[in-house]
A and B are shown apart, each in its own frame.
Chain A
Amino acid sequence: QQQVKQSPQSLIVQKGGISIINCAYENTAFDYFPWYQQFPGKGPALLIAIRPDVSEKKEGRFTISFNKSAKQFSLHIMDSQPGDSATYFCAASGFNKFYFGSGTKLNVKP
């Protein structure tokens, strides 16, 4: 059973627009929800993370919205830039493991 489901698989956004990526998780025991950004040929880089005791966390242009009752969380990238073009992975942590989503390839058009 897939523990974390991520959508969409790919996303095209115009420069200056808002990019929204969604994830849903299965296990209510998960207690840490990070987002990673990965460029081709590189390892994932931690972007922002949230714990279930808050509903939103904002760092610069990046915001996580967390809905505990729905078991969903999302990443919002405000004022998207071409340099944001990358693959984004959500994850949920529990039982000493990370469970990754399938990834979203974001393309920000100039």
Chain B
Amino acid sequence: GAVVSQHPSWVICKSGTSVKIECRSLDFQATTMFWYRQFPKQSLMLMATSNEGSKATYEQGVEKDKFLINHASLTLSTLTVTSAHPEDSSFYICSAELGGGGTQYFGPGTRLTVL
């Protein structure tokens, strides 16, 4: 139980294009999902908290117009990287909170490479 999927697992795009990453909780409903970014050999950096049916809460320093988050249902949140640039290349990981107890289950991650 508590499986979270992400799609795609990797993507390569040209500079200036937009990329959408999907995060799905497969066997549970998640009111809250989180989006993280991870640089090589570093810890996870929280980008935003996504709540179903409401606007996402972005961490300080994260551009909300560049990283668009939509949490349209209790099992799906999407992250769209708009006008991607090479510096946006990174490993993006989502997580979904099971129940209200704080347990987060992570997706397998999406490797984004912007050329």
Chain A residues packing against B (C-beta within 8 Å)? 31-32, 34, 36, 41-46, 49, 89, 93, 96-98, 100-103, 105
Contact = CB atoms under 8 A, between A and B. Distances in A.
24 contacts: A32-B102, A32-B103, A34-B103, A34-B104, A41-B109, A41-B111, A42-B108, A43-B4, A43-B6, A43-B107, A43-B108, A44-B44, A45-B106, A46-B2, A46-B104, A93-B102, A96-B32, A96-B49, A98-B34, A98-B95, A98-B102, A100-B44, A102-B42, A105-B41
A89 B32 contact: no
Contacts, number: 51
A50 to B, nearest CB: 12
Given A100-B44, A102-B42, 16 more contacts: A34-B104, A41-B109, A42-B108, A42-B109, A43-B4, A43-B95, A43-B106, A43-B108, A46-B2, A89-B43, A93-B102, A97-B49, A98-B46, A98-B104, A103-B41, A103-B42
Q: Is the interface of A mostly helix, strand, loop or mixed?
A: strand
A100 B43 contact: yes
Given A97-B46, A100-B43, A102-B43, A44 B106 contact: yes
A86 to B, nearest CB: 13
Q: Is the interface of B mostly helix, strand, loop or mixed?
A: strand
B28 interface: no
